């Protein structure tokens, strides 16, 4: 298994989607058995983009294919995001090569 980054693009008004996300994310956590290693939600010109790093694509798919997850998205008007999954080549800085503080 190798890590993947899932990119979920929600299209629409970025301020409105960010406000919807702030409430929806708590319900998503409540219905999800899997958690990403890293989770970022970024307002962008065309809406809101979520970047999640997962242990593997299988773990991501078990999260994403959960019907309750999609029910929450529909409840908050965030259904049908565009989804791209990318393999992760490296996760984290090479701490042994770079000091933590300068």
pLDDT tens digits for range 7-25: 999 999 999 999 999 999 9
Domain ranges of the chain: 4-87
What are the DSSP E strand ranges found in 31-81? 38-44, 47-54
pLDDT of residue 93: 75
Asked if the model's pLDDT at residue 102 lies above 80, the reply is: no
Under CATH, what is the fold of the domain 4-87? Alpha-Beta Plaits (3.30.70)
Nearest alpha-carbon partner for 27 in 68, 64, 61, 58: 68
Task: Give this prediction's pTM.
Answer: 0.89
Q: Is the pLDDT of residue 89 over 90?
A: yes
The per-residue pLDDT for 92 is 84
Whether the per-residue pLDDT at 1 is higher than 70: the answer is no
């Amino acid at each position: 298994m190798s890590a993947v980054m899932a990119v979920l693009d929600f299209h629409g008004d970025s301020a409105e989607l960010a406000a919807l996300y702030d409430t929806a994310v708590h319900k998503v956590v409540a219905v999800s058995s899997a958690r990403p290693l890293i989770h970022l939600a970024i307002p962008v010109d065309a809406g809101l983009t979520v970047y999640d790093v997962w242990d593997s694509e299988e773990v991501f798919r078990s999260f994403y294919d959960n019907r309750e997850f999609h029910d929450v998205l529909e409840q908050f008007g965030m259904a049908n995001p565009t989804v791209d999954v990318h393999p992760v080549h490296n996760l984290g800085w090479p701490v042994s090569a770079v000091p933590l503080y300068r």
